[in-house]
Amino acid sequence: MLQSLFRRAEATVDNAIASVLARALVAIPFLVAAGFGTAALAIYAYDNFGVAAGNLLLAAVFCVVGLVCAAVVAVRFRSKPAADSSTGEQSAGEAAAGKPLFDPVDRDVMAAVATAVGPIALPLVLRTVMRNLPLLAAIAAAGFVLSRNGGEHEKDIGTPMQPAE
């Protein structure tokens, strides 16, 4: 009896994971295209307006894009609690008021999903990590180098010259 329930839950989770991965695979070429489009726009702005004005123009464009995205998300989020209020889900205001975001039943369901997906997803994740270990090590090394504090080098540079008194 419970076996069919677990199989159905596992199939639902597998379908959800496959759907998210498929959407991510579709989004990657668009992100790369957006990067090349941004580079082309930057070159065009630099040629026509100069470097400083071109950078300001790109910053303004991305601020407008960010505001539009934030407005779309806000509208979707605002309309969602009205529909979900009949099911008893909490809004952001209730969650911020100190009430737990997930009730205990949701935690049990999430634990069951993690238990069902763990044995399937863990080997896939580990295989991907092991295959890309040199790339991950290079990213970690670059992050370490870029995040280091410049305290050792400040001794060599010294302080700026003080004006004559």
Predicted local distance difference test score (pLDDT) of residue 154:
47
Tens digit of pLDDT for each residue in 71-84? 888 888 787 655 45
Q: How many residues does the chain have?
A: 165
7 three-class SS: helix
Predicted local distance difference test score (pLDDT) of residue 102:
56
In whole angstroms, give the CA distance from residue 128 to residue 103. Answer: 34
16 three-class SS: helix
Question: Hey, where are the domains in the chain?
Answer: 102-147
Handedness of CA 143, 147, 148, 153 (dihedral sign): positive
In whole angstroms, give the CA distance from residue 104 to residue 132. Answer: 37
End-to-end CA distance of the chain: 89
- Written as tens digits, the pLDDT of the chain (165 aa) is 677 777 787 888 888 887 778 788 888 888 888 889 889 999 999 999 988 888 888 888 888 888 888 888 888 878 765 545 554 445 544 445 555 555 666 677 777 777 877 788 778 888 888 888 888 888 888 888 888 775 555 454 555 555 555
